[in-house]
Amino acid sequence: MKNIRLILTITIIALISTVNTNAKTIVTDGLVAYWTFDQGTIIGRTVKDVWDENDATLVGNPKRVEGYVKGGLELDGDGDYVSLPNVGNFGRKIGQYTFEAWIKTTLTKRWSVIYRVIEQPCRGWRNGNGILINCSFGFDDAADIMTAPDWINIEWSRRGEKGRCRQSGSGRVVPVSDGEWHQIVYTTRLANEAELEERRQHFIQVGIPIELIGVCYKNTVYIDGTVIMEKLYCSNIEDPVAYVEPIFLGAVNYEGKASGFLKVFLMKCGFMIAR
């Protein structure tokens, strides 16, 4: 058994498990919710949060199956998902947090999501929060999401009280829909001083006032313990407000309506929030 800790800052720790992971050993510093889908943690339609009291709800007809380590769920891609409660900083300001899940899927014929939340004023093109697979975006606001096998995209939006929204997205080709188990970890943390200085120099070079930088975050995606995407994102919204909708694991939550369902075996899912 072996666990790898990726220490991004002294305040945020992401759980990265190796092939020989023992499910009984998890990183608990900053952990706010952990759904194992193991035997005994699913009672009726309730999925127990084994760490705290953030119980989730099954929607549709997900099946409990044997996972890569102990239990898992099978989502059929036709209305199945898990409604996760709005926890920690994700619900408050989309602050520093880490999301982790193990998945296995062969679906490449249409785009789908690990999760995606969309609320006003952040709605429409690239204005959600989440992880999308087998998808790509066009180059203008009128373009819809397009199916693009093996593409992974992340979205990160920050809402403001005055009807403002600042969004960011990044994507690349990563073949995770190959019928094998893959671990996906998505972290967002406050930028460090060196990263902020790099952004200040960029603003100076292109003639943008540096006071428009605002608050900067570093978004990183790991697949099976390897960094596959990193992006520094800055937002000058000074009045961030909470996201109120729950996270639909395996579906898009578009202001309470579910779509974009994922056909997948899902093993574990957890959130860690920076202290």
pLDDT the model gives residue 1: 26
- The pLDDT assigned to 160 comes to 81
What CATH topology corresponds to 29-186+242-273?
A: Jelly Rolls (2.60.120)
What mean pLDDT is reported for the chain?
Answer: 80
The percent of residues in the chain predicted with pLDDT above 70, rounded, is 82
Measure the CA–CA gap between 111 and 116, rounded to whole angstroms. Answer: 12
CA distance 190 to 196: 10
Which structure tokens are listed for 68?
């890569």
Residues 72 and 66: beta-carbon distance below 8 Å: yes
pLDDT on residue 62: 93
Encode pLDDT of 5-49 as tens digits.
222 222 222 232 322 333 345 667 778 888 988 888 999 999 999
Question: First-to-last CA distance in the chain?
Answer: 27
Give the pLDDT confidence score for residue 80 in this predicted structure. 96
- Domain ranges in the chain are 29-186+242-273
Read off the pLDDT band of 177 (50, 70, 90): very high
How many Cβ atoms are within 10 Å of 142's Cβ, its own excluded? 8
Tens-place pLDDT, residues 146-165: 888 999 998 888 888 777 88
The answer to whether residue 197 scores a pLDDT higher than 70 is yes
Cβ within 8 Å of residue 64, ≥6 positions away: 37, 39, 42, 71, 72, 73, 74
Model confidence at 57, pLDDT cuts 50, 70, 90, reads very high
Q: State the pLDDT confidence band at 139, using cuts at 50, 70 and 90.
A: low
Tell me the mean pLDDT in the region 259-265.
91
User: What is the reported pLDDT for 4?
Assistant: 25
